[in-house]
Amino acid sequence: MNSQASDLELLSLKDASSLSPYSADYLNLLARKGKIRARKIGRDWVITKSDLFDYLQKQKAYYENRLSKFKLV
C-alpha cells in the first residue's frame, strides 16, 4: 500500500489513539464537538491518518507559539 493510500485509510478512534497522545474517549469528544475532522459511520467515529496528523500538527504549533511568549530572552 502506498503512502497516499495509507493516509486515506479510515482508523477507528481506538486505533487513532495509539498513534497520538490522546485517548479514544478524548478523540471522541473532539469529534463530537467538531474540533477534529472525523466522520461518523453508524455509531462509530472514524478518522483518516492525515486528518489526525493535521490536528496534531496544529496543536503542536499552537502550544509552541504560546510557550514562546513565556520564554525569557
With 70 as the cut, is the pLDDT of residue 6 above it? no
Q: Could you give the dihedral angle defined by the CA atoms of residues 60, 64, 65 and 68, in that order, rounded to the nearest 10 degrees?
A: 180
How do residues 50-70 score in pLDDT, each as one tens digit?
Answer: 999 999 999 999 988 888 887
What is the reported pTM?
0.81
3-class state of residue 46 by DSSP = strand
In angstroms, how far apart are the furthest CA atoms of the chain?
Answer: 52
- Alpha-carbon span 3 to 35, nearest angstrom: 25
